[in-house]
Amino acid sequence: MTVRIGVIGVGMIGQDHIRRLTQVLAGSAVVAVADTDAARARDVAGGLMGATAYATGEELIDAPEVDAVLVCSWGPSHEQYVTAAIRAGKWVFCEKPLATTEQACLNILDAEVAHGKRLVQVGFMRRYDPAYRALKASIDGGEIGAPLIFHSGHRNASVPSHYTADMAIVDTAVHDIDVARWLLDDEVAETMVVAPRKSARGGPLQDPLLIMLRMRGGAVVNIETSVNIAYGYDIRGEVVGETGTVELAESATVLVKRQGMVNARVPEDWRERFIRAYDIELQDWVDNCRLGTCGGPSSWDGYAATVVTDAGLLASKSGGWATATLRDKPAIYG
């Protein structure tokens, strides 16, 4: 069976996922698109065999030929599309963040719980990255003893002009927050934000930032966001355990040694660094839709991450620790 997918939001990530679904992965067809920019939706549909451009996301969700929905529109619109897809009983993959406010995430949880089983997967693609998976396997295998500290470096060469101060936490560090919860298999209890000397390259942004998380079990996570680091896109991760450490290796596959120097490529951006993770993630989603099941990061993971980013925003204003309080976990999330 081919999973017939409708894509809401056909900007950069939406078009990249359409390329992936139609040219790289197996088992799906893109049959519908919608975008607030109707001309762009028509253009994208025109480049696909037999796809319809719908005027609204809701019409796309209700279209009988759509089995599953991929939400790639901007964050504040996620709640409306994800809840509509749940109401229609359709599988839905939502790019991060699940939603931009805690209340919007709670509304999604309520809708999914009322439906009675998981339908939503959230696009925290790092969980599918082979290097992060090896890191997790090492921790879970007991190779370094109990994890005590996780250093997570998140460096972007530069960010677009629409990138605002809060985005270092809600758009960038949100990945590290999700990875911390997943790697350490624990929830965040509280968070604090420290602002180092500002990089002159960051304009008005407070860049870099250090975001500390204290996990319920006591481990501490130290997230560095540097979003104007100039030299490339560099994702660092090291877990310090009781008896050893494990860290992500450099992402380059080859090292060139010449003229007394060692050189390795640093990825240009997240599309290059995580290209494989995106492929594996979306193939997993398509395979699960075909099997009639739902896996990967859940609405609960999306909700928990948003609660922590909200606390991070508070902490960045107060200078102290801010607690992250979660509601009780509904049974459908395991």
Residues within the interface to ligand ISE (CB under 6 A)? 156, 171-172, 175, 227, 270
DSSP state of 190: E
Phi, psi angle pair for 208, to nearest 5°? -80, 180
Cα gap 152→175, rounded to integer Å: 10
**Nearer residue to ligand ISE within complex by CB, 86 or 159:** 159
* Preceding amide of 147 cis, omega within 30: no
d(CA 177, CA 187): 10
- Determine the residue with CB nearest ligand ISE: 172
When the beta carbons of 4 and 175 are compared against ligand ISE, the nearer one is 175
Complex with ligand ISE: residue 52 or 156, whichever CB lies closer? 156
Q: Of 79 and 171, which CB lies nearer to ligand ISE in the complex structure?
A: 171
CA–CA separation, 143 vs 148, rounded Å?
A: 13
User: How crowded is residue 258: how many other Cβ atoms within 10 Å of its Cβ?
Assistant: 7
Q: How far is the CB of 97 from ligand ISE (least distance, A)?
A: 9
Least separation in angstroms between CB 77 and ligand ISE:
15
Q: Which two tokens stand for residue 22?
A: 């139609």
Q: Nearer Cβ to ligand ISE, position 67 or 95?
A: 95
Tokens 């894509």 map to which residue? 7
Say whether 159 sits in a helix, a strand or coil. coil
- The CA distance from 312 to 320, in Å, is 10
Largest Cα–Cα separation, the chain: 65
Nearest residue to 70 (alpha-carbon basis) of 6, 1, 2, 3: 6
Taking the least distance from each CB to ligand ISE, the nearer of 156 and 288 is: 156
Q: What does the CA dihedral 185, 190, 195, 201 come to, rounded to 10 degrees?
A: 40
The whole-angstrom distance between residue 250's C-alpha and the CA centroid of its chain comes to: 21
Does residue 204 have a cis peptide bond before it, meaning omega lies within 30 degrees of 0? no
For residue 270, the minimal CB distance to ligand ISE (Å) is 4
Least separation in angstroms between residue 259's CB and ligand ISE is 33
CA–CA separation, 115 and 130 (whole Å): 33
Shortest Cβ distance from residue 131 to ligand ISE (Å)? 15
* Least Å from the CB of residue 82 to ligand ISE: 18
Query: How many Å apart are CA 186 and CA 149, to the nearest integer?
Result: 13
Structure tokens belonging to residue 141:
């295998």
Which CB atom, from 63 or from 213, has the smaller least distance to ligand ISE?
213
Please identify, using beta-carbon distances, which residue of 54 and 93 lies nearer to ligand ISE: 93
How far CA 306 is from CA of 131, 278, 330, in Å, comes to 25, 21, 17
Residue 205 or 246 having the CB closest to ligand ISE: 205
- Least distance between ligand ISE and beta carbon 227 (Å): 6
